[in-house]
């Protein structure tokens, strides 16, 4: 038996590839169950976030197991292995364990010290555990993984000044615009992160019911795209009409797929990407 990790992340794959290889929460249990039916796969856990997708497996043959996982990642997302293989990395044995520990400690994150990865790793394991896709090896490994994540937070200063990508975006906005007090913010996407106080303009990509936004009286503008999420069907000229945009914009997109390409943003005016 051997333990392996196969994945891609923000270091190895551009957003155009990452947005096509993912396992959102709505399909993660089915994906893990499907992977468990592949030959050579004995245990498996799938970690899927905005910036990384990693498949952890216990296999009876290392080379054949890695090939099986690569095939699964491609085929489940309607891709061919050759389309993604150059962006994939693999770890096995002790190197795999070290990698998982680095990931849960946020040492491999886009923002070192960010706290979200600990919960994401925990959820990834729980999804697999619930459908009995983990046994003795991974139950033991991920018990230690959780301990490592907790100890890194409690015994080091890595989380002392930890920031999320959203926090980093706010700090960047301050550097670009100076005092952001009184500035109007345009939010592209109307999920949980969009419900906040302050003068905002909203472009909806998720077909969110209007009444959820109308309950928040501080929303200045609500723009809905008629196209399904990810198609990029927004009428960008409307963005010029948002109060306070002033010809300048800051692009910070933490959701994928990403319809806001730098080319489209340049059509709006001066945009910092």
CB atoms within 10 A of CB 217: 6
**Catalytic annotation present for 112:** no
* Crossing angle for the helix pair 136-155 and 116-130, to the nearest 10 degrees: 160
Q: Report how far residue 83's alpha carbon sits from residue 194's, in angstroms, rounded to the nearest whole number.
A: 34
Check if the beta carbon of residue 22 is closer than 8 Å to that of residue 45.
no
| Catalytic residue (choose from 50, 187, 190, 194) | 50
> Which residue pairs, CB below 8 angstroms and at least 24 apart, start in 119-127?
120/47, 120/49, 121/47, 121/145, 121/146, 121/149, 122/146, 122/149, 124/28, 124/45, 124/46, 124/47, 124/48, 125/45, 127/28, 127/29, 127/32, 127/45, 127/46
Which among 146, 136, 124, 141 is positioned nearest to 35, based on CA atoms? Answer: 124
Please, are residues 93 and 141 in contact by the beta-carbon 8 Å criterion? Answer: no
Q: Give first-to-last CA distance, the chain, whole Å.
A: 46
Write out the catalytic residue numbers: 50
């Amino acid at each position: 038996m051997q333990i392996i990790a196969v994945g891609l992340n923000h270091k190895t794959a551009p957003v155009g590839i990452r947005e096509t290889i993912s396992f959102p929460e709505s399909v993660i249990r089915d994906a893990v169950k499907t992977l468990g039916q592949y030959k050579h796969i004995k245990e498996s856990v799938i970690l899927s976030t905005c910036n990384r997708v990693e498949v952890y497996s216990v296999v009876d043959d290392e080379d054949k197991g890695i090939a099986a996982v690569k095939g699964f990642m491609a085929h489940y997302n309607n891709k061919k292995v050759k389309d993604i293989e150059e962006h994939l990395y693999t770890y096995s044995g002790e190197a795999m364990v070290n990698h998982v520990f680095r990931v849960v400690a946020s040492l491999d994150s886009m923002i070192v010290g960010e706290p979200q990865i600990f919960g994401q790793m925990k959820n990834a394991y729980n999804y697999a555990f619930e459908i009995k896709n983990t046994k003795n090896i991974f139950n033991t490994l991920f018990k230690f993984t959780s301990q490592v994540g907790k100890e890194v937070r409690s015994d080091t200063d890595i989380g002392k000044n930890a920031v999320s990508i959203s926090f980093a975006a706010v700090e960047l906005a301050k550097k670009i615009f100076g005092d952001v007090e009184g500035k109007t913010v345009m939010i592209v996407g109307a999920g949980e992160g969009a419900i906040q106080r302050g003068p905002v303009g909203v472009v909806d990509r998720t077909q969110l019911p209007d009444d959820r936004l109308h309950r928040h009286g501080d929303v200045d503008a609500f723009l809905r795209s008629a196209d399904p999420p990810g198609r990029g069907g927004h009428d960008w000229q409307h963005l010029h009409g948002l109060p306070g945009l002033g010809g300048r914009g800051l692009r910070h997109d933490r959701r994928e797929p990403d319809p806001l390409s730098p080319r489209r943003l340049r059509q709006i005016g001066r945009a910092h990407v």
